[in-house]
């Protein structure tokens, strides 16, 4: 009953925020992109806050204990925007609350990178697959792709977004990350995490 109440409250808040704050942020993002110049920077910041706010709404109801269970599908659905399409199974995808929080944070980092490097109008797709022994998350965009060596150079320079926010989180859950990218062909992340009790991947 507590879980159902928390889910209902989350969905109510999501609707309310979508009808107010998120729509304003989306309008600032679009208009700023059209105006260019300094307004384009405001558009980028508005886009980042839009993603962060959606993630906050989706993850806040999760409890702080590792024993809590949350619905990964519902948490990801709230990340959907006019530019981000989320495809997921029809039913719930229950996982420990901390796993849901970490996976949503990894997806949020990937989507933030789309805004930063592919532009505020680039589209992205998030696919959630609930398999027998593992969860598979795919995040794909239509951006310019990542040049060879760029991620390694960024890590050497102290930029830890990909290393810590994506790979580190998935590794802590016993999973693996695979990056597919070519210049001019976009970027695709595939995150695979075993279900609890299915064994740790090597």
**Whether pLDDT at 79 is above 90:** no
At residue 89, what are phi and psi to the nearest 5 degrees? -60, 160
Distance CA 131, CA 123 (A): 26
106-122 pLDDT tens trace: 998 888 878 777 776 78
Q: Are strands 124-130 and 84-87 parallel, antiparallel or unpaired?
A: parallel
CATH architecture of 2-194: 2-Layer Sandwich (3.30)
Q: How big is the CA angle at 121 (ends 29 and 52), to the nearest 5 degrees? A: 55
Q: Domains of the chain: which residue ranges?
A: 2-194
Distance CA 165, CA 43 (A): 23
Distance CA 67, CA 5 (A): 18
10-24 pLDDT tens trace: 677 666 666 677 778
The pLDDT score that the predictor gives to residue 147 is: 62
- Cα of 144 vs its chain's centroid, Å: 19
Q: Which of 3-7, 40-44, 196-200 has the highest mean pLDDT?
A: 40-44
């Amino acid at each position: 009953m507590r879980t159902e109440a928390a889910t209902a409250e989350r969905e109510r808040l999501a609707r309310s925020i979508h009808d107010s704050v998120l729509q304003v942020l989306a309008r600032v993002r679009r208009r700023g992109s059209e105006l260019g110049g300094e307004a384009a920077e405001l558009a980028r910041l508005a886009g980042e806050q839009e993603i962060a706010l959606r993630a906050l709404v989706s993850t806040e109801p999760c409890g702080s204990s590792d024993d809590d269970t949350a619905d990964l599908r519902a948490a990801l659905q709230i990340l959907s925007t006019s530019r981000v399409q989320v495809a997921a199974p029809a039913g719930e995808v229950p996982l420990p609350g901390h796993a849901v929080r970490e996976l949503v944070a990894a997806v949020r980092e990937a989507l933030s990178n789309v805004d930063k490097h592919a532009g505020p109008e680039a589209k992205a797709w998030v696919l959630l697959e609930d398999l027998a022994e593992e969860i598979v998350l795919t995040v794909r965009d239509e951006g310019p792709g990542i040049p060879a060596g760029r991620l390694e150079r960024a890590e050497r320079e102290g930029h830890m977004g990909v290393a810590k926010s994506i790979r580190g989180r998935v590794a802590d859950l016993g999973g693996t990350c695979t990056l597919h990218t070519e210049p001019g062909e976009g970027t695709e992340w595939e995150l695979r995490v075993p279900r609890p009790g299915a064994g740790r991947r090597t």
